[in-house]
Amino acid sequence: EDQVTQSPEALRLQEGESSSLNCSYTVSGLRGLFWYRQDPGKGPEFLFTLYSAGEEKEKERLKATLTKKESFLHITAPKPEDSATYLCAVQDIASGTYKYIFGTGTRLKVLA
């Protein structure tokens, strides 16, 4: 069964304190792994899509990496505006469908 597990559940960082969020996944065949950011009271906002092990993508202070079992979202020198819940999702090519399986997210709080 497809599964996505994110850790930690919550993370508090000081401004400028770099860290990483983890997304472990189990699928028969990965079509894509997706990162989204969700602010309170809003819908998720797309960040990255990763397709194969070894791939990396960057956007401002965020960098996403992918292995065959997990993905990391690295946050370099975070700012308070990076505070949000970060969601990871996968699509399993073997499922024959295009549904997304989401993890429960990591709630990030960056303190000034």
Partner 1 sequence: GAGVSQSPSNKVTEKGKDVELRCDPISGHTALYWYRQSLGQGLEFLIYFQGNSAPDKSGLPSDRFSAERTGGSVSTLTIQRTQQEDSAVYLCASSQMTGTYEQYFGPGTRLTVT
Q: Mask of contacts with partner 1, 81-110, x by CB under 8 A?
A: ------x-x-x-----xxxxxxxxx-----
Q: Is 106 exposed, middle or buried (0-12, 13-18, 19+ CB in 10 A)?
A: buried
Give the three-state DSSP class for 99. Answer: coil
Comparing CB distances to partner 1, the nearer of 15 and 39 is 39
- Tell how far CA 101 is from the center of its chain: 12
Comparing CB distances to partner 1, the nearer of 20 and 104 is 104
- Tell how far CA 52 is from the center of its chain: 15
Comparing CB distances to partner 1, the nearer of 47 and 76 is 47
Binding site for partner 1 (CB under 8 A): 4, 6, 31-32, 34, 36, 41-46, 49, 51, 87, 89, 91, 97-105
